[in-house]
Amino acid sequence: KQEVTQIPAALSVPEGENLVLNCSFTDSAIYNLQWFRQDPGKGLTSLLLIQSSQREQTSGRLNASLDKSSGRSTLYIAASQPGDSATYLCAVRPGTGGFKTIFGAGTRLFVKA
């Protein structure tokens, strides 16, 4: 059974700092891994999607990496800003077992001005 874990659960950093959010999953048989952002009271916004054949994806100040063999992904945020404050969720789409997308509990990020 696929399980997704995110560490840390919460993170507070000063503005301008580079930071890394971690995601681990137990079964390497996946179609893809997707990082989402969720603002309080809002739905999920897709940030980056990494297919199983890819190693990383970049969008602006965000870079996500995928290491299937070790069951890990990282989301790197460069030069953090107060507007980056949100909850970041990692989700994997398993390649077996019904193909439902499974989420971690998220990392709550607070960037201090």
Partner 1 sequence: EAGVAQSPRYKIIEKRQSVAFWCNPISGHATLYWYQQILGQGPKLLIQFQNNGVVDDSQLPKDRFSAERLKGVDSTLKIQPAKLEDSAVYLCASTQIATGPRAGANVLTFGAGSRLTVL
Query: In whole angstroms, how close is the CB of 61 to partner 1 at the nearest point?
Result: 20
Pairing of strands 19-25, 56-59: unpaired
Does 41 bind partner 1 (CB under 8 A)? Our answer is: yes
Determine, following the binding rule CB under 8 A, whether residue 46 of this chain makes contact with partner 1.
Answer: yes
Residue 84 falls in which region: left (phi positive, over 0), alpha (psi -120 to 50) or beta:
alpha
Neighbours of 70 (CB within 10 A): 10
Does position 23 interact with partner 1 (CB under 8 A)? The reply is no
Regarding 45 and contact with partner 1 (CB under 8 A), the answer is yes
- What's the min distance (Å) between Cβ of 15 and partner 1? 25
* Residue 43 or 60 with smaller CB distance to partner 1: 43
Q: Which of 14, 53, 60, 69 is close enough to bind partner 1 by CB under 8 A? A: 53
Task: Find the shortest distance in angstroms from Cβ 99 to partner 1.
Answer: 5
SS3 83: helix
